[in-house]
Amino acid sequence: MKILLWHGYLLGGTGSNVYTRALARAWSRLGHDVVVLCQEPHPERFDLGGAAVVRPDAGPFLPVFVLDSYEDTTARRLPDLTRAEREEWVERNAAALREHMPADFLLVNHVLLGAPVGVAAGMPFAVKAHGSELEFAVRGNAELAAWARETLARAEAVFAGSEHVRGVLEEVVGGGEYLERVRVVPPGVDVEELRPEPRAEALAALVEEARRDPPLTGERHPDPGNADRLAGFLAGEEPTVVYVGKLSREKGVDLLLAALEHVEARAVIVGFGPERAALEEAAAGRPVLFTGPLEHRHLAHLWALADVSVTPSVFPEAFGMVAAEAAACGSPPLVARHSGLAEIAAGLESEYPPEHRGLASFARGDVDELAATLAALLALPPSERRRLGQAGRRAAERLWSWERIAALILSARG
**C-beta of residue 172 within 8 angstroms of C-beta of residue 134:** yes
Nearest to 74 by CA among 88, 85, 82, 63: 63
Type and span of the H or E element at 85: helix 83-98
The values of phi and psi at residue 54, to 5°, are: -125, 135
User: What digits encode the pLDDT tens for the residues 205-220?
Assistant: 999 999 999 998 889 8
124 neighbors 156 (Cβ within 8 angstroms) = yes
Give the mean model confidence (pLDDT) for residues 102-129.
Answer: 98
What tens digit of pLDDT does each residue of 239-251 get? 999 999 999 999 9
- Residue range(s) of every CATH 3.40.50.2000 domain in the chain: 2-184, 199-399
Q: Which CATH class, in words, describes the domain spanning 199-399? A: alpha beta
Pairing of strands 33-37, 52-54: parallel
Span 260-267, average pLDDT: 98
**Cross-strand pairs, 158:** 127, 182
Q: Could you say which DSSP state residue 332 is in?
A: P
**What distance in Å separates the CA atoms of residue 247 and residue 250, rounded to the nearest whole number?**
9
pLDDT over threshold 90, residue 398: yes
pLDDT at 74 exceeding the cut of 80: yes
What pLDDT is recorded for position 408? Answer: 92
Please give the C-alpha separations between residue 356 and each of 84, 389, 392, in angstroms, as whole numbers: 55, 12, 12
- The per-residue pLDDT for 305 is 98
| CATH class (in words) of the domain with range 2-184 | alpha beta
CA distance 196 to 303: 8
Q: Which CA distances in Å does 331 have to 189, 197, 325, 385, 386? A: 14, 10, 9, 9, 8
**Backbone phi and psi for residue 131, each to the nearest 5 degrees, phi listed first:** 105, -40
Closest Cα partner for 21 from 50, 64, 56?
50
| Per-residue CA distances from 314 to 6, 96, 167, 258 (Å) | 30, 38, 18, 14
Q: For the chain, how many residues are written? A: 414
Average pLDDT rounded to a whole number, residues 84-88: 98
pLDDT at 235 over 70: yes
Q: What CA–CA distance (Å, rounded) separates 262 from 259?
A: 6
Supply the DSSP string of 369-412, one letter for each residue: HHHHHHHHHHHS-HHHHHHHHHHHHHHHHHHHBHHHHHHHHHHH
Q: Residue 257: is its pLDDT beyond 80?
A: yes
Q: Which pLDDT band holds residue 414 (cuts at 50, 70, 90)?
A: low
Per-residue confidence band for 337, with pLDDT thresholds at 50, 70 and 90: very high
Residue 94 and residue 301: Cα distance in Å, rounded?
39
Which tens digit of pLDDT belongs to each residue from 52-63? 999 999 999 999
Residue 252 reports pLDDT greater than 90: yes
**Given a cut of 90, is residue 69 above it in pLDDT?**
no
Q: Is the pLDDT of residue 406 over 70?
A: yes
Cβ partners under 8 Å of residue 367, min gap 6:
255, 258, 259
What is the per-residue pLDDT for 71?
84
Instruction: Give me the pLDDT at residue 59, please.
Output: 95
CB contact burial 236-274 (16+ within 10 A = b; e otherwise): eeebbbbbbbbbbebbbbbbbbbbbeebebbbbbbbbbe
Per-residue confidence at 319, pLDDT binned at 50, 70, 90?
A: confident
Q: Using pLDDT thresholds of 50, 70 and 90, give the confidence band for residue 187.
A: confident
Nearest-angstrom CA–CA distance, 103 and 89? 22
pLDDT over threshold 90, residue 318: no
What would the mean pLDDT of 211-237 be, rounded to a whole number?
A: 95
- Global pTM? 0.77
Distance CA 58, CA 376 (A): 51
pLDDT for the residue numbered 122? 98
Q: Which amino acid would we find at residue 240? A: T
At residue 285, the pLDDT reads 97
Residue 74 burial (C-beta neighbours within 10 Å; 0-12, 13-18, 19+)? exposed
pLDDT of residue 316: 87
Cα 177 from Cα 151, distance rounded (Å): 11
Q: What is the pLDDT of residues 130-182, one digit of tens each?
A: 999 999 999 999 999 999 999 999 999 999 998 999 999 999 999 999 999 99
Cβ burial of 295 (10 Å; 0-12, 13-18, 19+) is middle
Average pLDDT, the chain: 96
